[in-house]
Amino acid sequence: QNAWKLADHPKLPKGKTIAMVVLDGWGEARPDEYNCIHVADTPTMDSFKTTAPEKWRLIKAHGSAVGLPSEDDMGNSEVGHNALGAGRIFAQGAKLVDSALASGKIYGGEGFKYIKQSFDNGTLHLIGLLSDGGVHSRLDQLLLLLKGAAEQGAKRIRVHFLTDGRDVLDGSSVGFVETLEKDLSNLREKGVDAQIASGGGRMYVTMDRYENDWNVVKRGWDAQVLGEAPYKFRSAVEAVKKLREDPKANDQYLPPFVIVDESGNPVGPVKDGDAVVTFNFRADRMTMLAKALEYADFDKFDRVRVPKIYYAGMLQYDGELKLPSHYLVSPPEIERTSGEYLVHNGVRTFACSETVKFGHVTFFWNGNRSGCFNEEMEEYVEIPSDVGITFNVQPKMKALEIAEKARDAILSGKFDQIRVNLPNGDMVGHTGDIEATVVACKAADEAVKTIIDAIEQVGGIYVITADHGNAEDMVKRDKSGAPQLDKSGKLQILTSHTLKPVPIAIGGPGLKAGTRFRNDVPTGGLANVAATVMNLHGFIAPDDYEPTLIEVVDN
């Protein structure tokens, strides 16, 4: 109990109501026509920067600042919210898998030994996102794992891939499949029966999250496990090229397909005695499939046939649920998060977003842990997301509803921290629809206004920040920063996140006079926010937390 006690802040009082707002996918970039935040009418966010510059700054949200392997790695919501909530920088999944593969330790681990039991008589199935985006998975890691598994004795391997187009350029799927095919044919030359068995676009097949739409996972199950899909092809490269010919098609939403042999039979349904590895390191979009693969009791869709398999995740995706029970690489141990500390120090918390980002302000925020720390102190509210649409048709999403829930929670007096994620900039930014993203940014800005108005009413404090960039840059650029065109002269739309820093603003009537950003943490990043917020709640952060961004000067 005592280990959890935080020291009092010498200058900042306790008991203030704090709104902690994360604008998803809201970075700071040059103001041009492809910067949707700049184009959009965003008076609230603009006002922080212009009216109180000592309470506005930029912080790093990508690369090493959030535990990613390199400075070329864009930020993402998982690592961003982990850093925001945990107040420290942990080597993240991407990096942990890199080192486990490089050292070969992955092959000596419990998880690999477990799946190895299939190698004599069964097939090893690898399911995951085919991408070099480094957000959920990486192609180079898949290729190393394939090679390693073959060296370790896997004789029959089937790859079930999901095409990306969301963390990478749309259309890049073809090149990734070609690369994969080349490696598989190398393996075949060495006598390993290795081939692609199925595929589909990540947003339509398998990679749903937070139980938004189980149909997505079912489509994947049917193709990957049962070997059934509306499209059948002899080759995966042909499949992706053909399916992309539809003018409305894109990598994110390709329909499911299976690869069939000369007699038209699927080459890789999952059978008793096989092993399955889900090779994504990131949890949110693999957890649902992991449940379908692992749970004996499962009622989310009819699995039809439940093969007895050896299943392992690349990582363990949920530390609280211990899901999956077998995994190749141990996940980062993100413990002693700010949420857990604050609960132990009497801070009552309300967290809210809509389904597609709900786990970001709960699960990721709390170090990849499901559920509350203390149900009496915390309330987590999920607003159901619209299902079965791409968010460019509904760019306002549930921003208003989230803001109203936050406002009510603020005015209720029942909570000390009201934490929300506003998904618009990110979810609409990922569609690549510039006009819709402009509408999205405006909606997010209006939601911020509603929340800070409530904070005004109760004499509270607001902290407004973001988890990574997205909506502030919608085109791929060359080195000089000029928008890049593809071979046909078309603008290359950037659906992914960016390497940009994100803003953080503090304010509100409850903010003690003289509180401002320090100027001696110039490299501050998302991990510095937790200590900052602890200060605003009247506490000093634990010693091993990244330093606070604020100071209080007496005037």
Binding residues: 24, 77, 136, 166-167, 202, 209, 282-285, 357, 426, 430, 467-468, 497
Indicate the residue among 354 and 426 with the shorter CB distance to Co ion.
426
CA distances from 24 to 75, 239, 358, 435 (A): 11, 34, 12, 18
Burial tier of 300 (Cβ tally within 10 Å: 0-12, 13-18, 19+): middle
Note whether 76 binds ligand 3PG by CB under 6 A: yes
Rounded to whole angstroms, how far apart are CA atoms 51 and 389? Answer: 38
Note whether 285 binds ligand 3PG by CB under 6 A: yes
Residue range at the interface with ligand 3PG (CB under 6 A); choices 62-70, 73-81, 273-281, 388-396: 73-81
CB of 332 to ligand 3PG, least distance (A): 16
Rounded to whole angstroms, how far apart are CA atoms 80 and 87? Answer: 11
Relative orientation angle of helices 139-151 and 93-103, to the nearest 10 degrees: 30
Indicate the residue among 26 and 90 with the shorter CB distance to Co ion.
26
Distant-in-sequence, close-in-space partners of 432: CB < 8 Å, separation ≥ 6:
170, 474, 493, 494, 495
CB of 166 to ligand 3PG, least distance (A): 5
Residue range at the interface with ligand 3PG (CB under 6 A); choices 8-16, 76-84, 185-193, 371-379: 76-84
CB of 485 to ligand 3PG, least distance (A): 25
CB of 85 to ligand 3PG, least distance (A): 14
Rounded to whole angstroms, how far apart are CA atoms 240 and 181? Answer: 13
Indicate the residue among 426 and 445 with the shorter CB distance to Co ion.
426
Q: From the list Co ion, ligand 3PG, none, pick the one residue 274 interacts with, judged by a Cβ distance below 5 to 8 Å according to partner type.
A: none
Q: From the list Co ion, ligand 3PG, none, pick the one residue 362 interacts with, judged by a Cβ distance below 5 to 8 Å according to partner type.
A: none
Indicate the residue among 251 and 274 with the shorter CB distance to ligand 3PG.
251
Note whether 94 binds ligand 3PG by CB under 6 A: no
DSSP H helices in 245-283? none
Note whether 77 binds ligand 3PG by CB under 6 A: yes
Q: From the list Co ion, ligand 3PG, none, pick the one residue 183 interacts with, judged by a Cβ distance below 5 to 8 Å according to partner type.
A: none
Bind-site residues for Mn(2+): 24, 77, 426, 430, 467-468, 497
Residue range at the interface with ligand 3PG (CB under 6 A); choices 35-43, 71-79, 169-177, 221-229: 71-79
Note whether 287 binds ligand 3PG by CB under 6 A: no
CB of 291 to ligand 3PG, least distance (A): 18
**For Co ion, which residue has the nearest CB?**
426
Q: From the list ligand 3PG, Co ion, none, pick the one residue 172 interacts with, judged by a Cβ distance below 5 to 8 Å according to partner type.
A: none
Rounded to whole angstroms, how far apart are CA atoms 383 and 423? Answer: 12
Indicate the residue among 269 and 469 with the shorter CB distance to ligand 3PG.
469
Looking only at residues 14 through 43 of this chain, which bind ligand 3PG when binding is defined by CB under 6 A? 24-25
Judged by CB under 6 A, which of 60, 88, 166, 407 binds ligand 3PG? 166
DSSP 8-state class, residue 5: P
Rg of the chain over all Cα atoms, to the nearest angstrom = 24
Number of residues interacting with ligand 3PG: please give it, by CB under 6 A. 12
CA distances from 28 to 31, 288, 502 (A): 9, 33, 6
Tokens of 459: 């004499």
Of residues 71, 124, 60, the one with CA closest to residue 95: 71
Q: Are the C-beta atoms of residues 485 and 491 closer than 8 Å to each other?
A: yes
Go through 6-35 and write b for each residue having 16 or more CB atoms within 10 A of its CB, e for each that does not: beebeebeeebbbbbbbbbbbbbbeeeebb
CB of 75 to ligand 3PG, least distance (A): 8
Tokens of 494: 């950037």
**For ligand 3PG, which residue has the nearest CB?**
77
Rounded to whole angstroms, how far apart are CA atoms 90 and 337? Answer: 12
Q: How many CB atoms lie within 10 A of CB 435?
A: 12
In the block, tokens 């549930």 appear at 398
Which of 77, 353, 385, 496 is catalytic? The answer is 77
Residue 325 is a catalytic residue: no
Helix (H, G, I), strand (E, B) or coil at 225: helix
Site for Co ion, rule CB under 5 A:
426
Indicate the residue among 162 and 455 with the shorter CB distance to ligand 3PG.
162
CB of 316 to ligand 3PG, least distance (A): 19
Q: From the list ligand 3PG, Co ion, none, pick the one residue 219 interacts with, judged by a Cβ distance below 5 to 8 Å according to partner type.
A: none
Note whether 473 binds ligand 3PG by CB under 6 A: no
Got the DSSP string for 383-436? EPPP-SS-TTSSTTTTHHHHHHHHHHHHHHT--SEEEEEE-HHHHHHTTT-HHH
Helix (H, G, I), strand (E, B) or coil at 518: coil
CB of 258 to ligand 3PG, least distance (A): 24
Rounded to whole angstroms, how far apart are CA atoms 23 and 455? Answer: 17
Residue range at the interface with ligand 3PG (CB under 6 A); choices 70-78, 174-182, 265-273, 287-295: 70-78
Dihedral angle of Cα 62, 67, 69, 72, to the nearest 10 degrees: 10
Residue range at the interface with ligand 3PG (CB under 6 A); choices 72-80, 138-146, 287-295, 456-464: 72-80
Q: Using CB under 6 A as the criterion, what x/- string covers residues 113-152 for binding ligand 3PG?
A: ----------------------xx----------------
Helix (H, G, I), strand (E, B) or coil at 539: strand
Distant-in-sequence, close-in-space partners of 500: CB < 8 Å, separation ≥ 6:
27, 28, 29, 61, 62, 468, 469, 472, 473
CB of 466 to ligand 3PG, least distance (A): 10
Indicate the residue among 251 and 445 with the shorter CB distance to ligand 3PG.
251
Under the rule (CB under 6 A), what is the footprint of ligand 3PG? 24-25, 76-78, 135-136, 166-167, 285, 426, 430
**Residues designated as active site:** 77
